[in-house]
Amino acid sequence: MRGKITYKILDFIEDRSMDSINFAKAFLNAGYGATFGKMEYERDILNRKSEIYKISRENKRRLQVYLSRLKSDGLILESSKNKMKLSIKGKKKLNILRQNRVLDKNLYKKEQGGRAIIISYDIPTPFNRERDILRGILKALGFTMIHKSVWAGKVKLPSDFISALGQLKINDFVEIMEITKNGSIKSIPA
């Protein structure tokens, strides 16, 4: 009997690299007299758990490093009860970051409008980033792409969207038109 168990252990370890703790856990979890398949199954479960632990430990470490960097930059403060809050410098930085997010597609909510709107643009290549962001926002607002640079939809345009075009200095390249009830097209100033 003893030789059979020794054989199983040695045979199991021969082609598999694993630490002794994981091996012992896999062997004990599989149970006495378990097949190689059962032991491999238990080993795979332990390896997956180990990988998840390593990933979560790495993510936790990254977060701690990032928080430490924010503290050393003076952007966050930690109270005696281990509660964090923004410093004055942190609040200023947050406001600057919010202003830079003017064309974040997650800021705009899809809202049905009464009239059809056509948006056409011819944005030069130095503004490629802004063009891609604009496409994402138009899609998020519910516009349909007619052509790569022509979008249409019965959507209400948020006023923040039009002011954001001006902040990014691409309003000269964007044409927004509204189709009125009698069928004529009316240009909306961007």
**In total, how many domains does the chain have?**
2
Binned at pLDDT 50, 70 and 90, residue 156 comes out as confident
Q: Are residues 5 and 85 in the same domain?
A: yes
pLDDT of residue 2: 46
Which of 39, 66, 100 is the last residue before a domain boundary? 100
Question: Any idea what the CATH number is for the domain that residue 169 is in?
Answer: 3.30.70.240
- Same domain for 73 and 126, yes or no, is no
- Same domain, yes or no, for 5 and 80? yes
Could you give the CA distance from residue 184 to residue 170 in angstroms, rounded to a whole number?
Answer: 26
Q: Are residues 22 and 69 in the same domain?
A: yes
Q: Determine the pLDDT at residue 120.
A: 93
Whether residues 112 and 96 share a domain: the answer is no
- Average pLDDT (124-151) is 87
Distance of CA 11 to the CA centre of its chain: 45
Helix spans in 102-148 (H):
128-141
Residue 86, SS3 per DSSP: strand
Mean pLDDT of the chain: 75
Does one domain contain both 96 and 112? no
Q: Quick one: tokens of 152?
A: 């249409």
119 vs 143: CA distance, rounded Å: 9
Q: Which residues, including other chains, have CB under 8 Å from residue 181's CB and lie 6 or more apart?
A: 115
Residue that is last in its domain, among 80, 100, 120: 100
Residues 110 and 165 in one domain: yes
Q: Residue 32: pLDDT above 60? A: yes
What is the per-residue pLDDT across 36-75, written as a single tens digit (0 to 9) for each? 677 777 777 777 777 776 767 777 787 777 778 888 888 8
Question: Which pLDDT belongs to residue 151?
Answer: 92
Instruction: Record the tokens describing residue 42, joined without a space.
Output: 């238990």
Same structural domain, 58 and 133: no
Geometric angle at alpha carbon 103, from 97 and 106, rounded to 5°: 90
The parent domain of residue 111 ranges over 105-188
Claim to verify: residue 130 and residue 162 sit in the same structural domain: yes
Q: Are residues 52 and 140 in the same domain?
A: no
Same domain, 91 and 110: no
Residues 59, 44, single domain; the answer is yes
Provide the CB-side half-sphere exposure for 169 (13 A, CA): 4
- Asked which of 49, 67, 100 is the last residue of a domain, the reply is 100
- The pLDDT value recorded for residue 121 is 93
Helix, strand, coil percent values for the chain (each to nearest 5):
55, 20, 25
User: What is the C-alpha to C-alpha distance for residues 183 and 190, in angstroms, rounded to an integer?
Assistant: 21
Q: What is the pLDDT of residues 71-113, one digit of tens each?
A: 888 888 877 776 777 788 888 787 777 666 666 666 677 778 7
The predicted pLDDT at position 3 comes to 45
